[in-house]
Amino acid sequence: MPQSPLIVALDYEDPSQCIELVERLDPKQVRLKVGKELFTTAGPAILEQLHSRDFEVFLDLKFHDIPNTVAKAVSAAARLGVWMVNIHASGGERMMTAAREAIDKASHQPLLIGVTVLTSMTAEDLHQVGVSRSPEEQVMHLAGLAQQSGLDGVVCSARETPELKRQFGKDFALITPGIRPAGAAADDQRRTLTPAEALAAGSDYLVIGRPITAAAEPARACEDILASLQANA
Ligand code: C5P
């Protein structure tokens, strides 16, 4: 099991491209994230392929449905052997508690993580769906609800991590995308932090996609990121 906080986002449509990249990565160095695009294309078979190569996998399907359905979905994810699975905190306390209870009954128990406010949502988007709090206030509110419901942590922007750690403690895991090594292209991300900055701000796991997947030498890109973390430790 890797000691490192790196989770590589496998944002591929084509499973064979994904496996080509994975063959250049080391399961002792990184974990992998499978999201909606790859899972919808390749199904549970892709998880088997990644697990057979000894990788731990974050299944990023952001479940949001009635409590019974979400409980069944996270149980299915647990049976697939994933390391981490996530659900929308805005599904409410009963939905999150049902998911917690389902995982507690499973023989293999993935970490159960909440999505608070998608970072693509602006204050205006929230108002349109009837939320009058600011995005920052809504993140804190939903993270509190997630913790009360027994979730293991939340996905959040690295900018939110200091306040989340302060309010919810060091054992509440914070998983942050929007990370760019110093000098790397920002792509479509805004307000990025470097891996070292994100860890210093309180992130526990860093979700990084293109700086690794689009690198000429992905293994080398991982090593460079890990070295940058050690240099700043
Ligand atoms: O390539 P890049 O490092 O930007 O990939 C980041 C990953 O994190 C993608 O899979 C993206 O969907 C995900 N993500 C994000 N911002 C969020 C939530 C998830 O970039 N707020």
Cα–Cα distance measured from residue 1 to residue 197, given in angstroms and rounded to the nearest whole number = 24
Give all domains of the chain, ordered by start, each with its CATH number. Answer: 6-231 (3.20.20.70)
Cα distance between the two ends of the chain = 20
For residue 105, the CA-to-ligand 1 centroid distance in Å is 30
In the set 28, 33, 62, 72, the catalytic residue is 62
Could you tell me the CA-to-CA distances from 49 to 23, 33, 40 in Å, in that order? 11, 13, 15
Mean pLDDT across 177-206: 92
Indicate the top mutation candidate among 88, 121, 122, 207 to test ligand 1's pocket, ranked by most ligand atoms within 8 A of CB.
207
| pLDDT of res. 138 | 97
Residue 62: active-site member: yes
3 state SS of 176: strand
Give CA angle at 100 (68, 58), nearest 5°: 100
pLDDT tens-digit readout, 19-78: 999 999 999 999 999 999 999 999 999 999 999 999 999 999 999 999 999 999 999 999
Cα–Cα distance measured from residue 116 to residue 90, given in angstroms and rounded to the nearest whole number = 7
For residue 209, the CA-to-ligand 1 centroid distance in Å is 7
Strands 6-9, 173-176: parallel, antiparallel or unpaired by DSSP?
unpaired
Q: Are 74 and 63 in contact (CB under 8 A)?
A: yes
3 state SS of 62: strand
pTM of the model as a whole: 0.96
